[in-house]
Amino acid sequence: MSFLIQRFTAAPEPSFPEVSKELVFSAPALGEAFDFAVAVRLSRLPSGRRGQWTPDREEVDHVGDLVRQMVRATTRNHSIFEPDAAEAAVNESLDRCLAETSRDNAIISRWGARAELGLPGEVKAIRRAHLIDMYEIEARAEATKLRMEKLRESSEVCEELLSEATKSSFARYAIQLTENPDNAAGIFEQMLNARQEEAEKLLTLVVKIVNAQQSAGVYDLVLASDSALREAFERLGVPLPPAGPDSLFAPLHEIS
């Protein structure tokens, strides 16, 4: 007899819970307009000597009834649109409930349970439409943000280009050459012709000013502005004419 007792007490405990039953039922959500689809895995846990006990059908059914009651009481406090929170609350309630089964004379074994909550088809359709709407809103917002960023970058580039263009008379020809490199000769000719026209207009204006101001004693002032005239022609890209005795560009000591 002592040998049997020693063997019984020395028997190793199961390393994993023994799955006894899976319960599938529905549980009402808050407002009871929808039901959660509930699946509970009911497991008999190792418990020393009591682990050798094989629960009868009456005990299993009794534990199953307790589980259903606890799950349904818990899900009634949670919205059908918050399944994660409802599932977490259900499992916490089950752990607490089954930990107190030692007080129940109808339950001999130790039990554990893990619940999974699913949604009805109509609720899935609503959530699916909501997620699609949210995704589209976020996608449009990201696209608008990216468009604004690129517009800002383009604006900065254009502003820089316009700023450079105001400082250089070659800017518009450079842009034409970039857009139409095959017409380089025509663009060069257009640029030189424009420079020639601008030079002629400038010379005409200078002559008119000199003629108009000779009687007022401004002629000497114009001759003294040789550096300003040279700089103007250099900016226009026009070669300076020979500095003969009668030229406006002749040094002052050659003019008598």
Secondary structure (3-state) at 135: helix
pTM above threshold 0.75: no
Identify whether residues 25 and 59 lie together within a single domain.
Answer: yes
Residue 113 backbone dihedrals phi, psi, to 5 degrees: -150, 145
Shortest CA distance to 107 belongs to which of 170, 60, 150?
60
| End-to-end CA gap in the chain | 148
The CATH number for 54's domain is 3.30.479
Query: Strands 18-28 and 110-118: what pairing?
Result: unpaired
pLDDT given for residue 114 in this prediction: 93
The answer on 180 and 85 residing in a single domain is no
Same domain, 90 and 161: no
User: Are 108 and 20 in a shared domain?
Assistant: yes
pLDDT digits (tens, 9 = 90+) for 127-166: 888 888 889 999 999 988 888 888 888 888 777 777 776 6
Environment class of residue 128 by beta-carbon count within 10 Å: exposed (0-12), middle (13-18) or buried (19+)?
A: exposed
Q: What DSSP designation does 109 have?
A: S
Taking a C-beta distance cutoff of 8 angstroms, is the pair 210, 222 a contact?
Answer: yes
Q: Is residue 16 domain-shared with residue 57, that is, in the same domain?
A: yes
Asked if residues 91 and 40 have their Cβ atoms less than 8 Å apart, the reply is no
The 10s digit of each residue's pLDDT in 17-41 is 454 688 999 999 999 999 999 999 9
* Domain membership of residue 31 as a residue range: 2-119
pLDDT at position 250 is 55
Distance CA 12, CA 53 (A): 14
Residues 87, 95 contacting (CB under 8 angstroms):
no
37 and 114 in a single domain? The answer is yes
Sign of the C-alpha dihedral, residues 237, 238, 243, 245? negative
Q: What digits encode the pLDDT tens for the residues 174-198?
A: 777 777 777 778 777 777 777 777 7
Indicate if 224 and 201 belong to the same structural domain: yes
Q: How far is CA 167 from CA 7, 164, 215, 237, in A?
A: 103, 5, 37, 14
Q: Is 151 in the same domain as 81?
A: no
Block residue for tokens 């401004």: 218
- Please indicate, yes or no, whether residues 102 and 11 belong to a single structural domain of this protein: yes
Percent of the chain whose pLDDT exceeds 70: 64
Can you tell me whether residue 113 is helix, strand or coil?
strand
Kindly report, residue by residue over 35-62, the tens digit of the pLDDT: 999 999 988 877 654 545 566 778 888 8
On whether both 33 and 11 belong to a single domain, the answer is yes
114/88 Cα distance (integer angstroms): 10
pLDDT of residue 4: 43
Say what the pLDDT of residue 19 is: 47
Mean pLDDT taken over the chain: 75
On the CB side of 223, how many CA atoms lie within 13 Å of its CA?
17
Domains in the chain: how many in total? 3
Looking at the structure, tell me whether residues 236 and 129 fall in a common domain: no
Tell me: do 69 and 136 sit in the same domain. no
